[in-house]
Structure 1
Amino acid sequence: MPDASTYPHRGQPWNTLHVGDNLDVLPLLPAGSVDVVYTDPPYNTGNDFAYADRFRDASHTDPYAGRHAAWTAMMRPRLEAVREVLAPHGAVFVSIDDNEAAHLRLLMDEVFGEANFLAQVVVNLNPKGRQLGRGFATSHEYVLAYARDLPSCVVDGSTTEAVDEADFPLTTADGRRFRYLPLRNTNKKFNPVSTPTLHYPLHGDPVTGRVSITEFAGSTALTPVFGDGRPAVWRWSRPRVEERPDDLECRVIRGRGGERADIFQRDWLHREGGRRKKLRTIWLAEEIGSTDTAVAELKALVGHVFESPKPTGLVRRILSTLPSDVVVLDPFAGSGTTGHAVALANAADGGTRRCISINSAEPTREGSNARLAGLDTVADITRARLTAVADRVGGGLEVAEGRSPDIR
């Protein structure tokens, strides 16, 4: 790992830690000042959680209903406060397990609006599965993602890391990799009735492969059809065909009625700016890390002082869908994974992301590894990790206690 001197401090620190209850700290942030939120709130495992505040609802006699109501009452004002600091183009990502996934989904529909739902991602954090307890060996959790305002949202749910070179098996004489895609739109929702401007003839020669808007010697006029012979439409408009004729090729194929000529797009592996592909909604441990790798990351910095950290790869995947200068907020900072991931992302691509981490001074458990290491509160763990990150990766650390974090 590079040391801090490799990435000198530029302007504001990459990481700011604010110690305090997030319900008190969040109102100190300017409205609309945060681009993206990732957080891993306390899970409702049946034990008391630290945020036993005035919003707690103890009116239920059913212990399960009471627990869900108390957890939801704790989360609601915090999500509402997050919404206030989130920019119109921003988004929020929340980790959760099965205990409260259904209730959190409904709560976020209420706070952020069902129309702003982006995804419910399944995250494979425990590939071996949890062997304790009854039932199945659970190997996943979730990340719920919502936009602040979907039409304005800058999240790009695609990334270069999702592209598989094996999907591009063909190579040109000059070494470029590509695959053939039908120029015909294969979705039957799109047809000459629904999109008449995309149903038009193209001229192609399967001997030379040439394709043109206009007729030429040796060409045949071709209109798009589905496999059953019904009329279809092209995916490209006439102007786009005129702009990129060299990316099209006329080929002979064998259909239900025998051989016929058709037109295909040469879809290239690499184009200027890099190729991107949509991320799937199942993220595997071998792609983003696991609970075991997360424990190892933390142990390498400050020791085995936190039971269930998230891997930095999970947060870095989220960051890969956003610009490289975003302001990131984690209102339940835990061990400091989000701030660590922001520093790693900046070091990797030269970005200027900044992270605001908020953590309460919740006491660590008596006799725990953290307490034995002299870390009396969970915020002490966050501070120790982000201090080590600043030393090893760079970017600095500002600790803001009793004042508003400066994110200008």
Structure 2
Amino acid sequence: MKKKVVVGLSGGVDSSVSAYLLQQQGYEVIGLFMKNWHDDSVTISDECPWLDDSNDAMMVADKLGIPFQTVDLSEQYKERIVDYMFNEYERGRTPNPDVLCNREIKFDVFMKIALSLGAAYVATGHYCRKGEFEKDGETIYQLLSGKDNNKDQSYFLCQLTQDQLSKTLFPIGELQKSEVRRIAAEQELVTADKKDSQGLCFIGKVRLPEFLQQKLQPKEGVIVEIEADEDLYKTETPSFTNKKEELDFLSKKYEYTSKDGKVVGKHQGAHYFTKGQRKGLAVGGTPEPLFVIDTDVDENVIYTGQGKDHPGIYRRALFITNEEVHWVRKDLAIKADETLEVMARIRYRQPLQKAILHQTENGMYVVFEEPQASITEGQFVAWYDGEELLGSGVIS
């Protein structure tokens, strides 16, 4: 009996080649296209052509001679991703829909459908790898970064569990993107030259403020510029009586009020902006470009600073509540008062940074060796040991 694998065919080159490689390895392959989002009122022109994608996926399946069907997950998608996004933006946080889509849709809803079809595995076109070994009589699964450093997507899978990993295959994890395109061309797959999609359909292909305006009403507020030499950046490092005091100090955000700076412009809603953002402020005439250093959704104020070296952009540490700490490798989870040296990143494609995890009774602190730019609430921090992703958490 051949083992059955369901491949999430997205209509892109990566999942197409994944299906082909699995077929070559002797699996019985089924192609499934996920229809996640089709609200045309917020997409820009034809920039979200899910119909084209589904046709491309169907043509790939046809060429490979594998069964193909479309599943409509838009209801679950709206509930678990879109509503969550609105909720997070409303709270002044910046969610990462790509990480959530993997956790909630591809490796949960979609995986359950695949298993109900009798599949042993689900496969995706992610650039990452899976390892496994025995420890104390049980199999431990590892999430490893992809061999193509430029395309490594392990960060997007940072919320996966041992159970999900046990049923997942990543057929292109050992390959470079150029090799994937070459294989697609050799097999005359229609997706061979198709350019990569930008994450989720409506993120990046939809003007985010317009998308958010469906639920979050515009309301005018002020843009305040904080000078780099403002007194609040000159606080002396106090002496600490215990480690927790130091961790709290390092991870503490700067607290701003409108009196700390000068009003330089107006905006249509603080919840449309995120830390580190430069575009969309529409304030000119400053020697260096303005960056968002903080947003206050309660007072509806955006705080900005000039230049990417502005002290308001940087912080040494961040905090994750216990509910939001997630270990892919549960066997390596640290307990209260324990620490672990890791390499970590706070956004996709950021070069890995040296950091130390400090677990306390009420949550985990991640303290970086170097100050990090634009640590943003709602985003994910992921930590690694070498090329293995050990865990992650939502920045609070």
Shorter chain as denominator, the TM-score bin is under 0.3
Q: TM-score, normalised by structure 1?
A: 0.21
Higher CA-based Rg: 1
TM-score (norm 2): 0.22
Between structures 1 and 2, the one with greater strand share: 2
